[in-house]
Amino acid sequence: MKGISISPFPKGWDEGYGLLADLHDAAFSPQGDRPWSAGEFRQLVESSGVEVFLAHQGDELLGFMIVRTICDEAELISIGVDPAHRGKGVGGSLLDEVTRKLMTANVQSFFLEVREDNPAALRLYQSRGFNQSGRRPGYYQTQSGSRVDALCLTLILAVDPNQTK
């Protein structure tokens, strides 16, 4: 998909929290996940070390990515793509741009949890060099009450020279 732009979410953008909640609902409710509210997004986005990146084409919001950075580690908290735009490179564009920003900021590792039953996300992360580093049994609870394991994935962005001595 051509013309995808990635930009930071402006903290304090009141209407934006609702847009994030709507997009999260569209992206995750079909697989049984509980959607996050605008208030939950506001609380998370306003937290220390949290950044949100938006993928858009003109004024159309295509996806988002939420990352928390602490010291030299970053965690991908959530990434969501509008179902109408899946498979068009939106998720990859978000992941690539944010990874570049993290490397520029000297972040050394980037980690995430992903549902083991989400093959599209697993393919995306593996295509970008993420490797499985663990498993969290029953980590995700669906709206129906069933539990799904999370796979822990890590991407090493830089090697700390002090750890190689």
CB atoms within 10 A of CB 150: 19
* pLDDT at site 89: 93
Rounded distance between C-alpha atoms, residue 149 and residue 10, angstroms: 33
The tokens describing 123, both together, are 């393919």
Over 50: is that where the pLDDT of 165 sits?
A: no
pLDDT bracket for residue 29 (50, 70, 90): confident
134-149 pLDDT, tens digit each: 999 999 888 788 899 9
Name the phi and psi angles at 79, rounded to 5.
Answer: -140, 130
Rounded distance between C-alpha atoms, residue 97 and residue 44, angstroms: 21
pTM value is: 0.90
107-162 pLDDT, tens digit each: 999 999 999 999 999 999 999 999 999 999 999 888 788 899 999 999 999 866 66
The tokens describing 36, both together, are 């996050």
Residues involved in catalysis? 113, 125
Which residues, listed in sequence order, are joined to residue 63 by a DSSP beta bridge? 55, 81
For tokens 């190689």, the residue is: 164
Count Cα atoms within 13 angstroms, Cβ side, for 37: 3
Domains of the chain (ranges, CATH numbers): 5-163 (3.40.630.30)
Rounded distance between C-alpha atoms, residue 34 and residue 24, angstroms: 9
